Amino acid sequence: MFIKSYSLLTPAWIYLSVSASLLVLGTYIWQFRNNPGIKYQTYVQYCKSLGLIFFLFFTTKTTLDEQIFWFKMFLLVFSLVPYFWMLFVMNISNQKRSLVLRCQQLFAIIILGLWTVILTDSWHQQLSQQIWTDTAAIRIMFSSFYWMLWVNGYLLYGISFWFALRWITNSAGLRRMQAVWFTFSGGLSILGGILNNIPELVEYSPLLISFVLSALAISWGCYRWHAHSVVTLAEKALVKNIKCTL
C-alpha cells in the first residue's frame, strides 16, 4: 500500500474549460456513430468530461463526506473509460470473434463488480476509511481495491493496444494510416496519465493537455477518414466516377 495526495494545483477554470471542450468534441464525434465503434469513442470523451468535473468537486469540497462522495463518482466514471476504449478498437478494427465477445463480457462483469463495491461503500467502508484530509491536501491510502481498479484499467488499455497493433500489422495503405493515427491518439492519453504521476510535471497539467490533444486527434481522424469507413469512401469515389462518365 502507498499514500497518494490530491490537491488542486491547476485553476478550476482550466478543468471546466477542458471538460467543456471534451463534451463538445464528443458531441462532434457522435455524428459518425453509424460507423463501427465510433459511438464508444463518444462515450470515452463524455466520461472524461464528467470525470474532470467530479475530480474538481472532489478537490474543492470542504467536508470529508462531500470529498468521499465525489471521489466515488470520479471512480465510477473513469472505470468506464478504458472499457469503452477497448470496445472502440475492437469494433472499428473489425476484430469480432467469439474470443473478443467473451473478453468484453468478462471485463463488463469485472467493472460491474467494482461498481458494486463503490456503490455499497456506505455499508462496508472499504473505500472511505482510506481517505482523510489535512491542511495541505486530500490523502488516500491505496489498498487492494484501488489496486484492482487501476490494474483492471491498465489491463484494458494493454488489450486495446494489442488489438490496435494487430490492426496495424494486418492492414495496408489508407487503412493502416487510419490504424496508426487512432492508435497514436489513444497513446496520447496514456502518456498524459504517466506524466501526471511525475511530481515535477503535475503543475503543468499533462493529463488535461493529453485529454484535449487526444480528443482533437480523434475528431480530426473522424473528419479526415469518415471514421475509418474505407467502404464508404470507395462507394463515394465509384459514384463520382460513374457520374463523370454519364
The structural domains of the chain, with segments of one domain joined by +, span: 2-245
Fold adopted by 2-245 = Rhopdopsin 7-helix transmembrane proteins (1.20.1070)
Most distant pair of Cα atoms in the chain: their distance: 77
Q: Which residues lie closer than 8 Å to 96 by C-beta, 6 or more apart?
A: 90
3-state helix, strand, coil in the chain (%, to 5): 75, 5, 20
For residue 46, pLDDT over 90 is answered with yes
Other residues' Cβ atoms within 10 Å of the Cβ of residue 26: 21
Model confidence pLDDT, tens digit, residues 111-160: 999 999 899 988 877 777 777 776 566 777 767 777 888 888 889 999 99
Report the mean per-residue pLDDT for the chain.
Answer: 83
Model confidence pLDDT, tens digit, residues 150-166: 888 889 999 999 999 99
Q: Which residues lie closer than 8 Å to 172 by C-beta, 6 or more apart?
A: none
CA distance linking residue 161 with residue 130, whole number of Å: 32
Per DSSP (E only), the strands in the chain are: 2-6, 131-133, 138-142
- Which three cell numbers mark 47? 466520461
CA distance linking residue 68 with residue 23, whole number of Å: 25
Higher pLDDT, 170 or 128: 170
pTM for the whole structure: 0.84
